[in-house]
Amino acid sequence: MNFSKNYEEISILLNNIILDEKLRTNLTEDEKFQNYFIDQVNNLLSMEIDFSIDYLSKKWAAIFGKSLVNITKKKIKFTKTENNTEDNVFADYSILLKYLENNYQIEKDKIILSESEINEETIGSSTIVTPEMKAQYLKIDEKIKVEPEIVNDSTEKPNINANQGFKGTMGNNGGEKKLPTHPTQDPRFYPFKTKPKGIATMKLVMSSLLFLFALLLFVFYIIGISKPFIINDQSEEIKKLFNNFSYYNNEGNWVKIGTNLSLTNLANVTVNPFNSAWIQPGMQFWILIIFCGWSGSIINRQPKNLIEKYSLSGWSIFWSLIAISFSLSLFSPFISEPSLKNLYLTHFRATFSPGSGNYTDELFLKDFNLFWDIFYKDSLLNIMSIFSIILLILAVAIVISALFVLILNPRKDHEKIYNADQEYQKVLLEAMQGREYKINPSIYETEVFIPKTKKTIKDKKNKNDDKEDSDKKESENQ
């Protein structure tokens, strides 16, 4: 047996107790039964807090605790069981089962099996005990009117309608108040140890570099597709340069002895610099350009809270570096002319198959070098090479700025987060009693952060305009 299984079995048991009219009615008067029920809620609470366990994606301790308060109309203190073990949980569970069997003649299978899925609304609608139910189910000697410790009607009256969850009727006028959000979700809560001042500057630097990188990558792409160099059997440059490869067949294609070879096959591969470098232009360029620009806008967007003001998500940095690394594969072949020339040479050698017949490898290399000189100049590859070097420098700068941001990023304050969790547990425990607990304000930051929105910027501008008008009137009066 494990804690998850314990949690599920206890939830089913408590649900069946509440839904059973006989057990629910006796729960109002039988103090020993109440104590056993409280033990189960405390065990659920300890498993939720210490082991983050739930059932059906919901935490049930607070729901069953609230239901018990609604049924008994008593003040009940719930506390999580410290240093709980599986043996202790199972022992408490077994004691309650045995008690129900012995005192209320309840069949075990009826209360340990779930006939239908546990539902919070059903539990909430099953917390009422009527006088008729008491007359029917309570023992004769228990029908004497008991004066329990009633929850204060004006300030702490339990919430009979549990469909409202924890919206208990708290407050002097009995008005509904929702539970406060968890402190870690409150914009005033800052979960880090420090507030590094330089991180805003580094985020601006990294963002600017990403925007510039995206812009130059776009220019690099436009240059690459702006002047295609058509290579086929109609190309005068090809006919002129590869003069020794001049055997023709009846179809007008250039041939090598015994084999047809149409230079139009080259047109599909070497139309422009990108094709020649085995890079398909288009979609991946646009994706990376847009992604780099988007990353830059995310990194330096207006902060919505203190966390965004003084830190940067590791995922933002990660995806930015991924975009840079993929972009590197697109422009890196153009950084060095020799490496790019070698790509073309390999492709042409495979196409023309020099070294056989009259077209020797020596003649092929001579022709190719003549071709490359013209092609490299006319196809703007030299300009693209310069842009590639600039892009590489920017990529390195972005990586360095990312490292600086990671170094400056504040470290989590685990003690502060723990204290916030403890405060919220107090809220839950008090809510189960129908009372309100105010979270200790010391866990929040004293620094007031107002997100910059269009409205706040407009208000600031209006204030400045009003101040200028006021100053102008004063000067005129003088």
pLDDT tens digits along 346-370: 767 766 666 655 667 777 787 778 7
CA-based nearest residue to 96, from 165, 151, 146, 44 = 44
Q: Is the pLDDT assigned to residue 156 strictly greater than 50?
A: no
Do 124 and 211 belong to one domain?
no
Do 230 and 142 belong to one domain?
no
- What is the SS3 assignment for 471? helix
Q: Does the model's pTM come out above 0.85? A: no
Q: Is the pLDDT assigned to residue 194 strictly greater than 70?
A: yes
Do 118 and 66 belong to one domain?
yes
At 448, is the pLDDT very low, low, confident or very high (cuts 50, 70, 90)? Answer: low
CA 150 to chain centre: 46
Single out the residue in 392, 408, 424 at which a domain terminates: 408
Per the listing, tokens 């723990």 go with: 418
At 408, is the pLDDT very low, low, confident or very high (cuts 50, 70, 90)? Answer: very high
How many helices and strands in the chain, by DSSP H and E?
19, 3
CA-based nearest residue to 158, from 170, 173, 148 = 170
pLDDT of res. 431: 72
Parallel, antiparallel or unpaired: strands 259-260 and 247-248: unpaired
Pairwise pLDDT comparison (165 vs 399), residue with the higher score? 399
At 400, is the pLDDT very low, low, confident or very high (cuts 50, 70, 90)? Answer: very high
pLDDT of res. 368: 76
Do 274 and 364 belong to one domain?
yes
Which amino acid does the sequence have at 438?
Answer: K
The residues pairing with 356 across neighbouring beta strands, listed in sequence order, are 359
Single out the residue in 153, 182, 211 at which a domain terminates: 182
Contacts of 457 (CB under 8 A, 6+ apart): none
Average pLDDT of 335-344? 81
Pairwise pLDDT comparison (2 vs 387), residue with the higher score? 387
Tens digit of pLDDT for each residue in 16-45? 999 999 999 999 999 999 999 999 999 998
Does residue 473 sit within a domain? no
Q: Is the pLDDT assigned to residue 192 strictly greater than 70?
A: yes
pLDDT of res. 77: 83
Does residue 219 sit within a domain? yes
Q: Is the pLDDT assigned to residue 265 strictly greater than 50?
A: no
Does residue 464 sit within a domain? no
Per the structure, how many domains does the chain have?
2
Do 34 and 131 belong to one domain?
yes
Do 205 and 165 belong to one domain?
no
Do 229 and 112 belong to one domain?
no
Side by side, the strands of the sheet bearing 259-260 are: 247-248, 254-256, 259-260
Does residue 471 sit within a domain? no
Do 252 and 375 belong to one domain?
yes
CA-based nearest residue to 139, from 262, 22, 268 = 22
Per the listing, tokens 């039964």 go with: 33
The helix (H) or strand (E) run that includes residue 256 is: strand 254-256
What region does 186 belong to: left with phi over 0, alpha with psi -120 to 50, or beta? beta
Does residue 10 sit within a domain? yes
Does residue 416 sit within a domain? no
Give the span between the Cα atoms of 13 and 261, in whole angstroms. Answer: 83
* Domain assignment of residue 379, given as a range: 199-408
Do 391 and 292 belong to one domain?
yes
Do 119 and 258 belong to one domain?
no
The residues pairing with 255 across neighbouring beta strands, listed in sequence order, are 247, 260
102-116, 133-147, 267-281: least confidently modelled range: 267-281
Does residue 414 sit within a domain? no
Do 204 and 176 belong to one domain?
no
Q: Please, where are the H alpha helices in 73-130? A: 86-104, 108-112, 120-124
Pairwise pLDDT comparison (233 vs 151), residue with the higher score? 233
At 208, is the pLDDT very low, low, confident or very high (cuts 50, 70, 90)? Answer: very high
Do 256 and 176 belong to one domain?
no
Does residue 304 sit within a domain? yes
Give the span between the Cα atoms of 317 and 406, in whole angstroms. Answer: 8
Give the span between the Cα atoms of 111 and 126, in whole angstroms. Answer: 16
Single out the residue in 378, 408, 438 at which a domain terminates: 408
pLDDT of res. 10: 93
